[in-house]
Amino acid sequence: MSGADGATVIGHFIDGKRVGGDSERRGDVFDPATGRRTALVELASAADVAGAVEAAERAARAWRDASLSKRTAVLFAFRELVNARRDRLAEVITAEHGKVLADAAGEVQRGLEVIEYACGIPSAMRGGFSENVSTEVDSYSLRQPLGVVAVISPFNFPVMVPLWFIPVAIACGNAVVLKPSEKDPSAALLLAEWFTEAGLPDGVLNVVNGDKEAVDALLDHPGVKAVSFVGSTPVARYVHQRASMAGKRVQALGGAKNHMVVLPDADLDLAADAAVNAGFGSAGERCMAISALVAVEPVADALVAKIAERMARLRTGDGRRGCDMGPLVTAAHAERVRSYVESGIAAGAVPVVDGREVTPDGDADGFWLGPTLFDHVTPEMSIYTDEIFGPVLSVVRVGSYDEAVELVNANPYGNGTAIFTNDGGAARRYQHEVEVGMVGVNVPIPVPMAYYSFGGWKASLFGDLHAHGADGVAFYTRGKVVTSRWLDPRHGGVNLGFPTQS
Ligand code: NAD
């Protein structure tokens, strides 16, 4: 489709095909490395959303009865298609998000792992059976799908985050309406097309592009039974409240401020490599990025020097040119991150490396900001309190392990954290004491594998169940327990007492 000025218009995917919507509203999609608008994206109306939910409701009625073999045959075929086309997907991610190609390929790989997990749904969904819970009475448990579920995803992982949810939801027998980020909508449409090519019946996976209006319509629609949301904390909190009020099951994953604690006995080269990788990979636009480095003295001087030395070798530029770090996602976001750098300086933090001075290997109009390192950051500065979601790493110096844990636990977020040490006892104590959902020991970005579940604590997750793994299966299914007796001549007659074992 193209708009009045010839621009490509990205629409929706409903009932097995690409469609345009009713809404007149459109958003701009940019190539962040050139700063040029590359497409317009339709912003769905409530009526567009209702059309997608209705298609999903029709499809869900048949899909819940599809055998496990039929469901997994589709997932295996989809896995093959994504695997064969992973480079194409990475290119689409880089063109709209800006992250470097190798990083985009890594995101596709993590998504593939969830598809592979979902291929094992016959085991993951298996119930239990107890023979003779009472004389000649058996009891067994089942897990059944919910119906239509909504997935609302953020800009920073346009493939991996939708794939945290969609394969598991579909494997469990649900139909899905996905609302991707309006900043990078193209990859989601490819995933939906490839699912159809893999044999998924029309309507089981639908994609509506849009913004708050589409999200609100999904949260309020009575046909949507559950919502999986990933995004910033204020929106996650809002989504959790609004969808819960509408009687839906909700998991809403929010923002983060992830701390990496470096103890005095740590291997400082390993810690410096990890801080650079986790601080500046994907330009810091990762919910598991390290943004606060807690240096337990006396390591700070040596550690900061090693990090700065490594940062001097990083190349910022167009993600298609083999650079280490790409641009930020939009001009407005780059401006916002830049203003944090200014506020950090104004508050008295020491800018060891100032990313505003970067010379990017890319178009002058790209949304650039180089990696930035602040030392002597204190907990009341906004560069410490706020999720910046950019390539800004803040070093906070503390005097002891206890001070470090206290700082991490006082933070409102609890997504990921890491400790660097060679002392197993200290690491064990940290993983026990820290109030964070995902913990790394000498691993800076401890993203759980697909067969575990991904999720943070406190303001990083509203709801109970985490994404994928056993929690994902529990989230997308309802438990049912059946107690059965096949009649026998000795069935016991009338008895008004409460059933107990006999
Ligand atoms: P965002 O909250 O702006 O948007 C997320 C989704 O919500 C998008 O689909 C967007 O269209 C929609 N949305 C935005 N504003 C809304 C509103 N007012 N009402 C209803 N819907 C709205 O987040 P983002 O900028 O796309 O993504 C970055 C954020 O996501 C960061 O805070 C990051 O930490 C977080 N994130 C968290 C995780 C996690 O697992 N906890 C993973 C990835 C990203």
Name every protein residue with a CB atom under 6 angstroms from any ligand 1 atom: 152-157, 161, 179, 181-182, 211-212, 215, 230-232, 235, 238, 253-256, 287, 387, 389, 415, 456, 460
Report whether 472 contacts 168 (CB < 8 A).
Answer: yes
Identical topology for domains 8-254+460-481 and 258-441: no
Is 287 annotated as catalytic?
Answer: yes
Measured between alpha carbons, how far is 282 from 327 in angstroms, rounded to an integer? 9
Measured between alpha carbons, how far is 303 from 274 in angstroms, rounded to an integer? 11
pLDDT tens, residue by residue, 135-194: 889 999 999 999 999 999 999 999 999 999 999 999 999 999 999 999 999 999 999 999
CA 264–ligand 1 middle distance (angstroms): 36
Average pLDDT, the chain: 97
Look up the CATH architecture of domain 258-441.
3-Layer(aba) Sandwich (3.40)
Residue nearest to atom 9 of ligand 1 (CA): 181
pLDDT tens, residue by residue, 338-354: 999 999 999 999 999 99
Q: Give the whole-number percent of the chain exceeding pLDDT 70.
A: 98
pLDDT band at 464 (very low <50, low <70, confident <90, very high): very high
Nearest CA to 260 out of 231, 303, 301 is that of: 303
Ligand 1 atom nearest the C-alpha of 154 is 26
Q: Is 489 helix (H, G, I), strand (E, B) or coil?
A: coil
Q: Which residues contact 306 (CB under 8 A, 6 or more apart)?
A: 268, 269, 271, 272
pLDDT band at 283 (very low <50, low <70, confident <90, very high): very high
pLDDT band at 7 (very low <50, low <70, confident <90, very high): confident
pLDDT tens, residue by residue, 52-99: 999 999 999 999 999 999 999 999 999 999 999 999 999 999 999 999
Output the CA torsion sign for 298, 302, 307, 311: positive
Nearest CA to 153 out of 78, 85, 83, 232 is that of: 232
Ligand 1 atom nearest the C-alpha of 153 is 9
Alpha carbon 83 to chain centroid, angstroms: 20
Residue nearest to atom 38 of ligand 1 (CA): 287
CATH dotted code for 8-254+460-481? 3.40.605.10
Q: How many CA atoms lie within 13 A of 411 on its CB side?
A: 32
Q: Give the whole-number percent of the chain exceeding pLDDT 90.
A: 94
pLDDT (mean) for 108-129: 98
pLDDT of residue 493: 77
Ligand 1 atom nearest the C-alpha of 211 is 11
Q: Which residues contact 7 (CB under 8 A, 6 or more apart)?
A: 37, 39, 40
CA 157–ligand 1 middle distance (angstroms): 10
CA 227–ligand 1 middle distance (angstroms): 14
Ligand 1 atom nearest the C-alpha of 180 is 9
Task: Say whether pLDDT at 287 is over 70.
Answer: yes
pLDDT of residue 3: 63
Residue nearest to atom 13 of ligand 1 (CA): 212
pLDDT (mean) for 111-127: 98
pLDDT (mean) for 13-27: 95
Task: Say whether pLDDT at 374 is over 80.
Answer: yes
* DSSP string for residues in 47-88: HHHHHHHHHHHHHHHHHTTS-HHHHHHHHHHHHHHHHHTHHH
Task: Say whether pLDDT at 111 is over 90.
Answer: yes
CA 212–ligand 1 middle distance (angstroms): 11
Domain boundary assignment for the chain = 8-254+460-481, 258-441
Nearest CA to 198 out of 296, 84, 302 is that of: 84
pLDDT tens, residue by residue, 179-201: 999 999 999 999 999 999 999 99
pLDDT tens, residue by residue, 402-447: 999 999 999 999 999 999 999 999 999 999 999 999 999 999 999 9
